Amino acid sequence: MSKAVVIMSGGQDSTICLHWAMSFYKDVMSVSFDYGQTHNIELLSAREICEMNNIPHEIITVKDVLRSTSPLTDKAQPLETYDNYEQMDEIIGDRVELTFVPMRNAMFLTIGANYALSKNCRTLVTGVCQEDNANYPDCRAEFIASQTATINQALGIQDFKIETPLMMLSKKKSVLLAQTLKGCMESLAFSHTCYAGVFPPCGKCHSCVLRAEGFAQAGVKDPLIERVEQYNNG
């Protein structure tokens, strides 16, 4: 396998996917999207991680395209916070977590496919994971299968792929995978997961709580938290 484009948010999952792609593909590129997210600090993380690993990286601006009541795109909407994983799991239950931005991943994959083709590449890598308990409908295997079929049909080809190495992995298993990928733990120290868009991370939003639970279950110290401790000790 030769070329792959990684959709890079700057968070934990996309960082692991970047290193996964680097392990399987000779030529890896990365693309991020500035969609007006309130936590756009993640774009700085994406750029820094790509620079650390000598990966070509571009940010595509699609501001004012997506509309939603998600706190990720509307600062007037409150961000749900949780004291621990168990409480979060109970509160969310079977509903979709309020940070869901409708059609975001469909747009990312469509534009990502266009970008990949412009680079003579027919493989996208994305960090969607249906094991997360946010219940996002566009992070499920059936959505990726449908989107893959749509892209191939729209292009009149049959060999465009969307790789989702974390799709069926729990956060614990994704952390264990990260430990096997060269340089991944070092990159994770500079990843940004927090939906509040702050450093040090808030530790209370859905993404922070899920990340903390994954590292705790894996019995591994989060490199980001180690970096925070160094920052606090100044």
- DSSP letters, the chain, are --EEEEE--SSHHHHHHHHHHHHH-SEEEEEEEES--TTTHHHHHHHHHHHHTT--EEEEE-TT----S-TTT-TTSPPPB-SSHHHHHHHHTTSPPTT--TTHHHHHHHHHHHHHHHTT--EEE----TTSTT--GGGSHHHHHHHHHHHHHHHT-S--EEE-TTTT--HHHHHHHHHHSTTHHHHHTT----TT--SS--S-BHHHHHHHHHHHHHT---HHHHHHHHHHT-
C-alpha to C-alpha distance for 188 and 176, rounded to whole angstroms: 13
pLDDT of amino acid 131: 80
**Boundaries of every domain in the chain:** 3-67+74-232
What value, to the nearest 5°, has the Cα angle with vertex 185 and ends 166 and 86?
A: 60
pLDDT of amino acid 133: 59
Domain 3-67+74-232 has CATH 3.30.590.10: no
What value, to the nearest 5°, has the Cα angle with vertex 40 and ends 39 and 41?
A: 90
pLDDT of amino acid 112: 98
Report pTM: 0.96
Residue 95 burial (10 A CB sphere; 0-12, 13-18, 19+): exposed
Tokens in use for 95?
């509903």
Find how far residue 101's CA is from the centre of its chain.
14
C-alpha to C-alpha distance for 59 and 90, rounded to whole angstroms: 36
Print burial letters for 151-177: b (CB count within 10 Å at least 16), e (below 16). Answer: bbeeeeeeebebbbbbbebbbbbbbbb
The parts of the chain modelled with pLDDT lower than 70 are 1, 133, 234
pLDDT of amino acid 41: 94
pLDDT of amino acid 1: 58
C-alpha to C-alpha distance for 216 and 3, rounded to whole angstroms: 34
pLDDT of amino acid 234: 67
